[in-house]
Amino acid sequence: MARRKLLGAVALAGVVALTAAACGSDDGSSSDGKKTITIGFQGVLSGDNQQLGINALYGVETAVAEANANANLPFKIRLVQSDDAGSPDQGPTAAQKLIDNSGILAVVGPMFSGATKASEPLYSQAGLLSVSPSATNPALTTLGFKTFYRVIAPDTVQGTADADYIAAVLKAKKVFSLDDKSDYGTGLSAALEKELKARGATVVHDGINPTKNYTSEATKIIAENPDVLFYSGYYAELALLSKALHDKGFKGVTVSGDGSLDAKYVEQAGAAAAEGTYLTCPCSDANSDPNAAAFVESYKKINGGARPGTYSGEAYDATNALIEVFKNLGDNLSRESVAEAFGKVNYQGVTKLVKFQPNGEVEGANDFIYRVKNGQIVVLGNTVDLIKS
């Protein structure tokens, strides 16, 4: 017995040593005399949704790397990450970690609405600014969070605009509205269905938790024979759904929201299955917008060739808006001054003009319609203009 225990202890020590050796320390104090400003990132970096977190984190890192390469800026940016796994349980710990670090002046995040609701009371209490790139639950700006802003429009904006487009331009009489039962999906489908019904369309609702098997769901959708299928969820699932529908010969039009606006959608569904799908977003898509080509290039360069994905552009804009604020404030940098000044920021980002209403909602979010044509996502235009013409 004694021998086993000893061996065990030795082996454990060995593992720990190996690990410790590998994780060298990384402190990023700048060497060229510039002062360093620290910002935090709170997002989904582990668990099933970590790809979305990585998209956003890479967006933040792109902005940070660009700022640090910019010789004209009087400061360097240092980034501290904090993982909340997208869950409300981990939210407070993740937020508190950033709050505890008194050098942190602002945070990009949290990402998911659930984690946001759990974390924001802490940020409000600490007076630390947090800018979410992706939390779209409409209620978030009504819960009394004092330092919460988001660079993405709430579900209601997108859902309503999409419904208008579907009714006015696609002239759909019957819409099958499918959501993924997530906070985001149910919020979007609820807003969409409300507006569609107001416009007199027949709506069939169904919800399905994210899965890989959409075979029988495809059967169900085809049996209903809708003009339009609207999926409220993310591209990974929409790709599988499109594939299943394509295999079974679905004749209707598929539309989905900003969670699906990602080049990976076409790649994963296959060009044939994705062809003709409408994707909408209250933002402009960096990959298809010629103005954002510089962003895509530098994103790819900084992140080992990865292309921007869902929420990358928003995170990039949020970070750049913060940097803009730091620049304007000069030496008067504190959590209070940053939180105070951020409400008045006016910065043209790659996804939208970052400018806020008093409640922290981004102003004048326009809903854009995209479509998959010949395997590429191309922009059709602004919903309002498309409906008018």
The answer to whether 133 and 112 have CB atoms below 8 angstroms apart is no
The verdict on 102 binding another protein (CB under 8 A) reads no
Name the 3-class secondary structure at 320: helix
Given the complex with another protein, which of 207 and 343 has the nearer CB atom?
Answer: 207
The verdict on 127 binding another protein (CB under 8 A) reads no
- Site size toward another protein, by CB under 8 A: 84
Give, as ranges, the residues between 330 and 389 that touch another protein (CB under 8 A).
none
User: Quick one: which of 38, 50, 202, 376 contacts another protein (CB under 8 A)?
Assistant: 50
Give, as ranges, the residues between 185 and 214 that touch another protein (CB under 8 A).
185-187, 206-209, 211-213
The verdict on 19 binding another protein (CB under 8 A) reads yes
Q: How far is the CB of 57 from another protein (least distance, A)?
A: 9
DSSP string for 77-143: EEEEEEE-TT-TTTHHHHHHHHHH-TTEEEEE---SHHHHHHHHHHHHHHT-EEEESS---GGGGGS
Burial class (CB in 10 A: 0-12, 13-18, 19+), 22: exposed
Select from 65-73, 119-127, 128-136, 314-322 the region that touches another protein (CB under 8 A): 119-127
Given the complex with another protein, which of 110 and 313 has the nearer CB atom?
Answer: 110
Select from 1-9, 70-78, 325-333, 353-361 the region that touches another protein (CB under 8 A): 1-9
Given the complex with another protein, which of 194 and 264 has the nearer CB atom?
Answer: 264
Q: How far is the CB of 21 from another protein (least distance, A)?
A: 6
Task: Give 358's contacts (C-beta < 8 A, 6+ positions apart).
Answer: 343
Give, as ranges, the residues between 275 and 314 that touch another protein (CB under 8 A).
306
User: Quick one: which of 38, 51, 202, 382 contacts another protein (CB under 8 A)?
Assistant: 51
| Distance in Å from the first CA to the final CA of the chain | 83
Given the complex with another protein, which of 266 and 321 has the nearer CB atom?
Answer: 266
Given the complex with another protein, which of 236 and 338 has the nearer CB atom?
Answer: 236
Select from 66-74, 177-185, 250-258, 277-285 the region that touches another protein (CB under 8 A): 177-185
Give, as ranges, the residues between 213 and 272 that touch another protein (CB under 8 A).
213, 215-217, 219-220, 223-225, 236, 239-240, 243, 247-249, 264, 267-270
Select from 48-56, 160-168, 194-202, 365-373 the region that touches another protein (CB under 8 A): 48-56
Token representation of residue 90: 């981990």
Q: Which amino acid makes up residue 342? A: F
Nearest-angstrom CA–CA distance, 360 and 154: 11
> What's 248's DSSP letter?
T
* Enclosing H/E stretch for 252: none
The verdict on 38 binding another protein (CB under 8 A) reads no
Residue with tokens 């974390």: 119
The answer to whether 145 and 173 have CB atoms below 8 angstroms apart is no
Nearest-angstrom CA–CA distance, 275 and 271: 6
What distance lies between CA 179 and its chain's CA centroid? 17
377 phi/psi in degrees, rounded to 5? -85, 120
Select from 32-40, 93-101, 335-343, 380-388 the region that touches another protein (CB under 8 A): 93-101
Task: Give 185's contacts (C-beta < 8 A, 6+ positions apart).
Answer: 179, 207, 232, 233, 259
The verdict on 137 binding another protein (CB under 8 A) reads yes
Q: How far is the CB of 266 from another protein (least distance, A)?
A: 11
177 phi/psi in degrees, rounded to 5? -105, 115
